[in-house]
Structure 1
Amino acid sequence: MPIGLIALALGGFGIGLTEFVIMGLLPEVASDFAVSEATAGWLISGYALAVVVGALLLTLAMSRMDRKAALALLLGVFVIGNVLSALAPDYWTMMAGRIIAALAHGAFFGIGSVVAAGMVDRAKKAAAIAIMFTGLTAANVLGVPFGTMLGQAAGWRSTFWAISVIGILALIGILTLVPRTTNIDSTPSSGLRGELSAFKSGQVWLSIAVTILGYGGMFGAFTYIAFTLTEISHFPAATVPWLLILFGVGLFVGNALGGKAADRNVDRALLVVLSVLLVVLVVFALTADNQPLAIMSLVLMGGFGFATVPGLQMRVMTYAKSAPTLASGANIGAFNVGNALGAWLGGVTITAGLGYTSPIWAGAAITLLGLIVMVFAATAARRAAQRMTQSGDEQSMVQPTSEKQSLAGSPL
């Protein structure tokens, strides 16, 4: 394993911590700034929207930069955003810090995916991407609980100072451990026009659609999981953080196994994982009142939900061909669009009075749509490959005939 992947994973850990730890610190933040918890919640929504914007605009702006330099610059922006959050004297300054940090999020994972894949052999590219995303899963398993405890014990600002330090360490790691783009097996950036050309591929758009729907289904169920666990499964509220750690363990394992499966056959891996995720969500919705089954479903939902990530990222990069950077960043934005879609639809079902299992049913419906799109995409890709094979066979058959005709006309 190239040691540079560790630096990418550390950056992913810090970014994942920034995104998710705020959920456990909202009461303290709301109290400090004298705003309602609903208003404080916009610090989460604002971050998610800024991720989408940054994934596209910053990736475009850096399309001609060396990717190592781009990653270093993005981590610098990330650190600035978190320092601003830690120093924020009021709510809107805090919001500005969150947005600045979020702008680096999508572009970092988008460009980082291309760099990670370029560090290894062709047969290990999805696994390399999974290692980078291990930082994101570790942020859920370890970072969020301990970051929340630190914020509760020493004030919420201490958590953002700690994240800033992690960002600085990741920046040092990028500068010292990640090789320059020209020294790794990675296609150099093709500039703005070249990067935009990737979106001429219908398979790129289909891959992005699967990302929105497949990941959105899992996140829609997860957004309101605390209500499901306490109101339907009847777990004490104090146990919810520990149950979420189990969910995070599922993310961690699913990410690693999903990367290995995608390296063998990305389309088959995604079809299997999305199919199993759909079954898991349906079973969860039907058995949420049974605590052992609810725990099992929670872990499996995290595992199969995040097992899609390396494959989805690898697929969009594969079909983007020689201009994968912007498509990769757009796909990171698509994950966050999926988050927003799932959370919105889950909220709609609860508001409609359908109960606290309704977000899981909504997630299952979104996942089903994602599976349908994936079946269509895989079928179209297989047919295109067959046509290319047949065309190649026909050309090989024509060549010997021409040679025979040439020999027949020869004086020999």
Structure 2
Amino acid sequence: MSLAISLLHNIKKYLYNIFEAALPLPLFALFLAAFAFGTTEFVIAGILPDVATGLGVSIPFAGYLVSGYALGIAVGGPLLTMATRRISRRSILVALTIAFCLGQVACAMAPNFAAMLLFRIGTSIAHGAYFGIAMVVAVSLVPNSARGRAVALVLAGLTVSNIIGVPAGAAIGGIWGWRATFWAMTLIGVMALVAIWLLIPQTKLERREEHHLGREVRVLGRQQVWTSLIIMLALMMGQMVPFTYITPLLQEVTGLDAMVVPWVLLLNGVGATLGVFIGGRLADWKLMPSLIALLAVQAGMLVVLYLVSPYAVPMTVAIFIWGALNFAIGTPVQARILTWTADAPGLASSLIPSGFNVGIAIAAVVGAALLDGGYGYRSLPVIGAVTLALGCLVALLSALQEKRSGIAPPVPASA
């Protein structure tokens, strides 16, 4: 047994030494686990009608599987992150990925809606803690000038999940049933677990720095932090109010066949992946001017989405651009929070996925309320356009205040 463990450690060390110069392998491991978590969060949109039928509930009611997952991230993620502050980040990442795998098995075997919701929430708590820790690890592996790109690489796990995971999960669900989708997610989770164990080294530098809880809370009072969290809420309203119900929107309003929808989701994911790397470059170049411009353009794009929704080709193109802008905005927002909380990143980093997922939860509830009120699927992008316009205003005012104050970002505590 000891010989086998020694062999595995030697393999890990060998892989790390060979490929470290060409590819930051710890970032690759973080990317793969992000892909797994992102797929299980977003794939529900592609199989929502089948899940609703299988569990005996309406499609709008099944949408609460999205909001429940988001609330688990928003509330449980920060609590779990703070509860494990004194444990090695690598050990926590391994434990969270194991929890992911168990959650997918439970969802695949869920006997009813209540059980499914409970299992999704359990998985989402691990999700929230994972991204908070992974972002801190990612930016600690690169110089300050490359923070945006490090964030972009982890975020790329989410966008690639939209390119590969969500369409593939929807296709698997269409062929073998929605439960098969969660069995496939289990396999992805096992692959991510192996990657984290092999590629993230256990070193003293990887140990958590000690921060007093009061200091962690105080950094949240910096206007760059709380305004960024507000922008996150606006962004997720613009993304998830339409995306939660994207399958019935494309089928009933645009008139696309059910077998075409996964291909449109694929294009959305391609756009998102391009957007996340563009956003990373812009964050390392001129963060706030880029963020303000992207928010303004996205508000207009949601108006376009509303106007072209009855027409197949323009709608497909609009969804591609919309997906790119969603993730191009997300990268600089997260890079800004990590930059302005570098001296006490624990709690703030855990609030990054919380901010996004509070927005997701609100979006799912607002979308369900609109549909139950008889407004129809086409009305959903309108809410997003309004919230993105408000987010743009918040970003502009925040940038002006930051310029007037002349205060520089904090130095990382480890420095």
Common fold by TM > 0.5: yes
TM, length-normalised to structure 1: 0.85
State which of 355, 376, 391 in structure 2 corresponds to 1:334: 355
Larger radius of gyration: 1
Counterpart of 1:378? 399
Q: Does 1:300 align with 2:321?
A: yes
Deviation by residue 1:286-305 (Cα, 9 ceiling, x = unmatched): 33344433222211111111
Counterpart of 1:402? none
State which of 99, 102, 108 in structure 1 corresponds to 2:130: 108
Counterpart of 1:62? 84
Displacement of 1:95: 2.9
TM, length-normalised to structure 2: 0.85
State which of 335, 359, 362 in structure 1 corresponds to 2:380: 359
Displacement of 1:11: 0.5
CA contact (8 A) 1:182 1:188 kept: no
CA contact (8 A) 1:43 1:98 kept: yes
Counterpart of 1:284? 305
Deviates more, 1:130-139 or 1:172-181: 172-181
Match runs of 1:175-324 below 5 Å:
175-180=197-202, 182-183=204-205, 188-324=209-345
CA contact (8 A) 2:73 2:125 kept: yes
Cα gap change, 1:232/1:48 in structure 2, threshold over 3 Å: closer, same or farther? same
Cα gap change, 1:212/1:32 in structure 2, threshold over 3 Å: closer, same or farther? closer
Counterpart of 1:136? 158
For 1:52 and 1:379, the matched residues in 2 are separated by: 29
Displacement of 1:49: 1.5
Deviates more, 1:202-211 or 1:29-38: 29-38
CA contact (8 A) 2:170 2:181 kept: yes
Displacement of 1:77: 1.8
The residue identity in structure 1 corresponding to 2:222 is: S
For 2:303 and 2:172, the matched residues in 1 are separated by: 37
Counterpart of 1:401? none
For 1:339 and 1:176, the matched residues in 2 are separated by: 33
CA contact (8 A) 1:81 1:99 kept: no
CA contact (8 A) 1:12 1:135 kept: yes
Q: Does 1:47 align with 2:72?
A: no
Deviation by residue 1:86-106 (Cα, 9 ceiling, x = unmatched): 344444433332221111111
For 1:65 and 1:263, the matched residues in 2 are separated by: 31
CA contact (8 A) 1:25 1:156 kept: yes
CA contact (8 A) 2:267 2:320 kept: yes
Q: Does 1:86 align with 2:105?
A: no
The secondary structure found in structure 2 opposite 1:357 is helix
Displacement of 1:362: 1.2
The residue identity in structure 2 corresponding to 1:283 is: V
Cα gap change, 1:298/1:376 in structure 2, threshold over 3 Å: closer, same or farther? same
For 2:182 and 2:146, the matched residues in 1 are separated by: 34
The residue identity in structure 2 corresponding to 1:170 is: A
Displacement of 1:326: 1.5
The secondary structure found in structure 2 opposite 1:120 is coil
Displacement of 1:154: 3.7
Deviation by residue 1:22-72 (Cα, 9 ceiling, x = unmatched): 333445545555555555443333222111122221111122222222212
For 1:315 and 1:299, the matched residues in 2 are separated by: 26
For 1:345 and 1:89, the matched residues in 2 are separated by: 28
Deviation by residue 1:118-160 (Cα, 9 ceiling, x = unmatched): 1112111111111111111111111122223333444433332
Root-mean-square deviation (CA, aligned residues, Å) is: 2.6
Displacement of 1:353: 4.9
State which of 85, 90, 98 in structure 2 corresponds to 1:76: 98
The residue identity in structure 1 corresponding to 2:320 is: V
Displacement of 1:191: 4.6
CA contact (8 A) 1:217 1:338 kept: no
Number of residue pairs the alignment of both structures matches: 387
Counterpart of 2:46? 24
CA contact (8 A) 2:67 2:364 kept: no
The residue identity in structure 1 corresponding to 2:286 is: N
For 1:283 and 1:33, the matched residues in 2 are separated by: 35
CA contact (8 A) 2:167 2:265 kept: no
Counterpart of 1:392? none
The percentage of counterpart residues that share the same residue type is: 38
For 2:193 and 2:357, the matched residues in 1 are separated by: 24
Cα gap change, 1:68/1:147 in structure 2, threshold over 3 Å: closer, same or farther? same
Deviates more, 1:283-292 or 1:204-213: 283-292
Cα gap change, 1:97/1:364 in structure 2, threshold over 3 Å: closer, same or farther? same
